[in-house]
């Protein structure tokens, strides 16, 4: 019954998000799967963490749409999230919610779930709020080098503080909502600190991948670096500049979530 309710609620939210242009059609179907499993097999505490990520990141994308308008050509996709983005951001968290259904007493599953969402939330907040930085970002692999805003692998102080805020939101909720209540388990504050730190480090790992092995393209017409492929926003075919061709932004987000989980589990 809870699973059915979960899918109905997820479908309602996905429909609203689709109508509000936060999700594409494929993104809305993916959100029903992700939301349905997390609501239905996890429970309301798990749903609250997912909603905190989904609502805060969609709101930030919307709020800073104008400021990011000139940067749209750099990012792999526009403001509407498609299935690849939904699974890249929420796929691993969905797996942990499913695991919880079979191992309801395992506290580490809650920590791992929260760490996934903390990492992708931190990364989204950093991307959306980083554009407010008055100074150009610097490459995470070479801090002496300033790069254009929106460049994969670029980091700024404001972006990093935003990542900390995004991670802390999930960390505080993870500590407050606790997850499965069984002894022995780490104290709530430890869960909060571990999840927050995991989120921050996960988003920095995301930048590291963006600055090294993520597929980055070049538009010969605009002479600009971009994540877009095969076509740039101007319509020209982009060519691979660096990185592994298969490692697109969605896989980088998954890598960010995996790294966050590893950090959180080591800490707890």
Residues forming the site for Zn ion (CB under 5 A): 219, 221-222, 232, 234, 236
Q: How many residues does the chain have?
A: 268
Residue 246 CB burial class (10 angstroms; 0-12, 13-18, ≥19): exposed
Q: Which is nearer to Zn ion, 73 or 146 (CB)?
A: 73
Strands (E), the chain: 138-139, 142-146, 154-155, 216-219, 224-226, 239-242
Provide, rounded to whole angstroms, the least separation between the CB of residue 227 and Zn ion: 12
Provide, rounded to whole angstroms, the least separation between the CB of residue 210 and Zn ion: 20
Provide, rounded to whole angstroms, the least separation between the CB of residue 69 and Zn ion: 15
Residue 132 has a CB neighbour count (10 Å cut-off) of 13
Q: Which is nearer to Zn ion, 147 or 222 (CB)?
A: 222
Q: Which is nearer to Zn ion, 185 or 238 (CB)?
A: 238
Q: Which is nearer to Zn ion, 123 or 225 (CB)?
A: 225
Q: 154 pairs with which residues across the strands?
A: 139
Q: Which is nearer to Zn ion, 206 or 227 (CB)?
A: 227
46's torsion region: left (phi>0), alpha (psi -120 to 50) or beta?
alpha
Provide, rounded to whole angstroms, the least separation between the CB of residue 47 and Zn ion: 41
Q: Which is nearer to Zn ion, 221 or 240 (CB)?
A: 221
Residue 211 has a CB neighbour count (10 Å cut-off) of 22
Q: Three-state secondary structure along 44-80?
A: HHHHHHHHHHHHHHHHHHHHCHHHHHHHCCCCCCCCC
d(CA 96, CA 50): 12
Provide, rounded to whole angstroms, the least separation between the CB of residue 238 and Zn ion: 7
The tokens for 203 are: 């988003």
Q: Which is nearer to Zn ion, 63 or 234 (CB)?
A: 234
Q: What are the strands of the beta sheet with 216-219, ordered from one edge? A: 224-226, 216-219, 239-242
Q: Which is nearer to Zn ion, 157 or 231 (CB)?
A: 231
Q: What is the DSSP letter of 243?
A: S
Provide, rounded to whole angstroms, the least separation between the CB of residue 125 and Zn ion: 28
The tokens for 40 are: 């239905």
Provide, rounded to whole angstroms, the least separation between the CB of residue 163 and Zn ion: 29
Provide, rounded to whole angstroms, the least separation between the CB of residue 159 and Zn ion: 25
């Amino acid at each position: 019954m809870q699973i059915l309710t979960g899918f109905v609620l997820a479908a309602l939210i996905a429909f609203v998000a689709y109508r509000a242009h936060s999700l594409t059609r494929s993104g809305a179907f993916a959100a029903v799967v992700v939301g349905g499993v997390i609501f239905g097999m996890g429970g309301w505490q798990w749903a609250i963490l997912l909603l905190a990520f989904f609502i805060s990141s969609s709101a930030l994308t919307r709020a800073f749409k104008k400021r990011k308008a000139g940067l749209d050509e750099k990012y792999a996709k526009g403001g509407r999230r498609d299935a690849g983005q939904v699974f890249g951001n929420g796929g691993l968290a969905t797996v942990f919610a499913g695991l919880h259904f079979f191992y309801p007493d395992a506290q580490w599953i809650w920590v791992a779930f929260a760490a996934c969402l903390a990492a992708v939330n931190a990364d989204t907040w950093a991307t959306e709020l980083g554009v407010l930085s008055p100074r150009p970002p610097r490459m995470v692999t070479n801090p002496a080098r300033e790069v254009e805003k929106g460049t994969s692998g670029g980091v700024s102080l404001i972006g990093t503080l935003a990542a900390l805020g995004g991670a802390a939101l999930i960390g505080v909720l993870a500590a407050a909502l606790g997850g499965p209540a069984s002894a022995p388990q780490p104290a709530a504050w430890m869960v909060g600190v571990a999840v927050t730190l995991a989120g921050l480090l996960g988003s920095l790992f995301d930048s590291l991948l963006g600055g090294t092995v993520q597929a980055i393209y070049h538009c010969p017409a605009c002479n600009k670096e971009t994540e877009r492929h095969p076509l740039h926003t101007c319509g020209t075919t982009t060519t691979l500049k660096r990185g592994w061709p298969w490692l697109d932004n969605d896989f980088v987000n998954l890598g960010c979530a995996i790294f966050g989980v590893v950090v959180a589990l080591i800490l707890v």
